[in-house]
Amino acid sequence: MIKILFISKNNSQISKFKNIFGKNLYDFSCISDDTLLIDTINVSAPDIIFLDAEIPNLKDINKKIKQICENTIIIFLVNEKVDKELVKFANAFVTLDMPEDLIISTVNVNLRMKNALEMLSSSNKDLADSLYRLNALYDTSSRFAGTLDKDKLIQYMIEGMDKALSFSLTSTLSLCSDEPVLILNSLYELSDELISALKFRCVLNFNSAFEGKTLDIDTLKVIKQVKYPASRFTFTLFQYDNMFAKISLGDTDFGFVEIFKETSFTPEDATCFQTIAQQVALPLKSATLYQELIETNAKLEKLERLKSEFISIVSHELRTPLTSIKNSLDILGSGRCGEVTQSAEKFLSMAMRNVQRLSGIINDLLDLSKIEAGKMDFNFTSANINTVIGYVKTALSEVAKSKGLNLITQEAENLPETKFDAQRLEQVLTNLVSNAIKFTSEGKTITISSELVNASDIKINEIFKPEIKNLSGDYIQVCVADEGIGIDTKDLLRAFDKFAQIENSLSRKAGGTGLGLPIAKQLLEAHKGAIWCDSELNKGSKFYFIIPLV
Amino acid sequence: MKKILIVDDEQDIVESLKFVLETADFTCYCAYNGEDGLRLAKEIVPDLIILDVMMPKINGYKISRLLKYDAKYKNIPILMVTARSQEEDKLIGEETGADEYITKPFELDEVVKTVEKYLK
């Protein structure tokens, strides 16, 4: 029914319009006393108001009507002459002598217009709502992307829901901390009884959502966040409209969220709610993985540190008794305690040799644990690598000679100086040459050579390519080439692994700890250089190392 | 005869050092902990001290510093014996005032040579 209100003091007009609109389609009422006007409009909210232009204070009345019901159509009833001022704020005019048809059609046209306007404004409002919600969703998901803190993620989820859905209360169970936490975000204060009821409801929800798991209501921790503590919620809260969503990804459950609102939720609300609850699951999973990674890392670091400390302590504890053994052997061997027979000499030197070996192992272990712990000090000074080659040749040529080996050097002339720790590189080169001596048989030759190379020109076995892939510029290269037993290709990489001894028995026969090459590798890494080898079984091996030219 | 003080909580090491040094015609005094070592050093004012780093109560590093800061003893050469543990490395990284470092296990003949170098 279309509600029409007629405001006039003129009885003949009233009866004329009553005649026109008093029929079935319209709900016609009229008042002649404008003091009753506001109350009448408030009660009946008419679609159309006819206002007799003869009424005094027309403008004020018009203004009042517009204040109360903005969308009501006001049609002025005028004489033939229309006041120009009135034109500004009237929807339409009818004259006193206008035929009935025209009056009805004026009303209809205006009604249609009113309907169209109302539709437009309502779809406009829907559009604005959707936009706002989309914005809230976008905001929320960008906030999700910005953190790996699980508590924050849950908080962002609740805030996002508040923004998009303006809830009265959310009851969120978070399984993200060490123990389950019930987070109550409420518009108004909650009594203890109500909190108990919400806890109970949470346990029920938990049992139905996560079958087979249990939640202890007595130990359940509750966090309460109240927006307006001055007011209070009552149990009518449970009559509100509500929605529920699990927060989980695959097998991992992070909890659930239940949301209450005084007015009912629309299907769009439901979609939005589920979307946010789903969206938070992925970053929660990432955060969980991240946390696990951090924990594992910390454990590994601790283990590594303990290992280094262990090696250091053990080495120290080994050194002291070893010193006493060595000292005793020295004294016995020196003949200060009486003459040493030939067979005694043999066993004394056997004991000495093994003390030396043990002490070498301890030194290697200490070096390695020091380098790995980053506690090795380096003394980089400018020098020519050929000096180091010279030292090593002098130190080892006797040993080589005693084995019937030929130790020669091929040093590049005019090799530029560069910065390195001479003592450490001497250690590396000594190790390489000692190895060569160990694994080469009588009559063969061992060659130490040096040259200047560019990183891009280095020819290197495919398996060692990764070792030098980040290097560029000029390097000093040192090569120790032997004609010994060689290393099988499949063992090449392992040669630089800790404790890897290729062909165990042989290596044991030849002595050594299997730590020389790993130490060499670490020492060269500290020089920003590299070490690798090339070998052919039964033909011989070539060990190369390079240090940058600086 | 020159007097040498040997301070080490490891009795076996003290024993062997004493043996070779006495054979090389030095008079040896021994202490088996830091406290005794410091007391003896002040009492007998030796010509040289062989000092272990890691010892209970007062470690060799402390003893060395106490003596080297004292005008009465600062000229006594100190040979510091170290087992190169991380803890010791840290101590040695600081100023200990020691004249020479000997790493365990050491060559007895080397020790004798070093002692002779200082006491010629």
Average pLDDT, chain A: 86
Q: Is pLDDT of B35 > 90?
A: yes
Residue A506: pLDDT above 70?
Answer: no
pTM of this prediction exceeds 0.90: no
The reply to whether A298-372 shares the fold of A2-118 is no
Q: Which residues contact A497 (CB under 8 A, 6 or more apart)?
A: A518
Judged against a pLDDT cut of 90, whether residue A478 lies above it is answered with yes
In chain B, residues with a C-beta closer than 8 Å to the C-beta of A321 are: 12
Q: Coil, strand or helix: which one is A210? A: coil
Question: What angle, rounded to 10 degrees, do the helices at A516-526 and A422-438 form?
Answer: 150
The residue written with tokens 């990284």 in the block is B93
pLDDT of residue A184: 94
Helices within A373-438 (DSSP H only): 385-402, 422-438
> A2-118 has which fold?
Rossmann fold (3.40.50)
- Which own/partner pairs from A359-364 qualify as long-range (CB within 8 Å, at least 24 positions apart)? A359/A319, A359/A322, A359/A326, A359/B105, A360/A513, A361/A513, A361/A515, A362/A315, A362/A318, A362/A319, A362/A322, A364/A513, A364/A515, A364/A516, A364/A519
With contacts defined as CB-CB under 8 Å, which chain A residues touch B107? 330
Could you say which DSSP state residue A166 is in? -
Closest by CA position to B50, among listed B113, B16, B4: B4
Residue B72 lies in a domain: yes
- Tell me which of B14 and B95 has the higher pLDDT: B14
pLDDT the model gives residue A505: 43
Contact B23 A336 (CB under 8 A): yes
User: Which of the 8 DSSP states describes residue A389?
Assistant: H
Distance from CA of A394 to the nearest CA of B (A): 21
Q: What's the pLDDT tens digit per position in A340-357? A: 898 898 999 889 888 888
CB contact under 8 A, A316 and B107: no
Q: Which of A137, A135, A133, A174 is nearest to A155 (CA)?
A: A174
Residue labelled with tokens 């001479």: A422
Count other C-beta atoms under 10 Å from residue A325's C-beta.
Answer: 18
pLDDT value at residue A513: 65
pLDDT for position B91: 60
CA distance A399 to A395: 8
Q: Which residue has the tokens 């040289």?
A: B48
Banded pLDDT at B86 (limits 50, 70, 90): low
* Residue ranges covered by each domain of chain A: 2-118, 147-279, 298-372, 381-548
Strands A530-536 and A474-481: unpaired
Pairing of strands A474-481, A445-454: antiparallel
- pLDDT over 60 (residue A501): no
Condensed to tens digits (0 to 9), the pLDDT of residues A147-178 reads: 888 889 999 999 999 888 888 899 999 988 88
pLDDT > 70: percent of chain A:
97
pLDDT (tens digit per residue) in A24-48:
678 888 888 777 888 888 888 888 8
- By the 8 A CB rule, do A418 and A382 touch? yes
Residue-level pLDDT at A32: 81
CA dist., res. A37 & res. A39, Å (int): 6
The pLDDT value recorded for residue A508 is 47
Q: What is the pLDDT of residues A192-208, one digit of tens each?
A: 999 999 999 999 889 88
Burial zone of A382 (CB within 10 Å; 0-12 exposed, 13-18 middle, 19+ buried): exposed
| pLDDT tens digits for range A394-448 | 999 999 999 999 999 999 988 999 999 999 999 999 999 998 998 888 899 999 9
Best interface-test mutation with A: which of B8, B59, B86, B87 has the largest number of A CBs within 10 A?
B86
Specify the CATH architecture of the domain A147-279.
Answer: 2-Layer Sandwich (3.30)
* Average pLDDT over every residue of B11-16: 91
Instruction: Please report residues of B whose CB lies closer than 8 A to that of A331.
Output: 16, 19-20, 108
Q: How far apart are the C-alpha atoms of A516 and A497, rounded to whole Å?
A: 10
Least reliable range by pLDDT among A267-281, A362-376, A497-511, A529-543: A497-511
A509, two tokens = 């026969």
Model confidence at A219, pLDDT cuts 50, 70, 90, reads confident
Weakest mean pLDDT among A36-45, A240-249, A352-361, A493-502: A493-502
Fold held by A298-372: Helix Hairpins (1.10.287)
Task: Give the pLDDT confidence of A288-299 residue by residue, as tens digits.
Answer: 899 899 999 999
In the predicted structure, residue A322 carries a pLDDT above the cut 60: yes
Q: Could you tell me which residue, B25 or A24, shows the higher pLDDT?
A: B25
**Res. B5 pLDDT band, cuts 50 70 90:** very high
For chain A, first and last CA: distance in Å? Answer: 96
pLDDT at position B93 is 54
Give A338 to chain B, closest Cα distance, Å: 13
pLDDT at A271 over 80: yes
- What is the arithmetic mean of pLDDT over A258-277? 90
Q: What is the interface pTM, i.e. ipTM, of the complex?
A: 0.79
When divided into structural domains, chain B yields a total of 1
Q: Is A517 helix (H, G, I), strand (E, B) or coil?
A: helix
Provide the domain limits for residue B86: 3-115
Q: Is A320 on the interface with B (CB under 8 A)?
A: yes
Q: Which residues contact A269 (CB under 8 A, 6 or more apart)?
A: A165, A243
- For tokens 């159309």, the residue is A48
What is residue A242's predicted lDDT score, i.e. its pLDDT?
A: 92
Q: Indicate whether B120 belongs to any domain.
A: no
Inter-chain Cβ pairs, chain A and chain B, closer than 8 A: 67
**CATH architecture of structural domain A381-548:** 2-Layer Sandwich (3.30)
What's the pLDDT band for B100 if we cut at 50, 70, 90? confident
Q: Residue B91 sits in a domain of what CATH number?
A: 3.40.50.2300
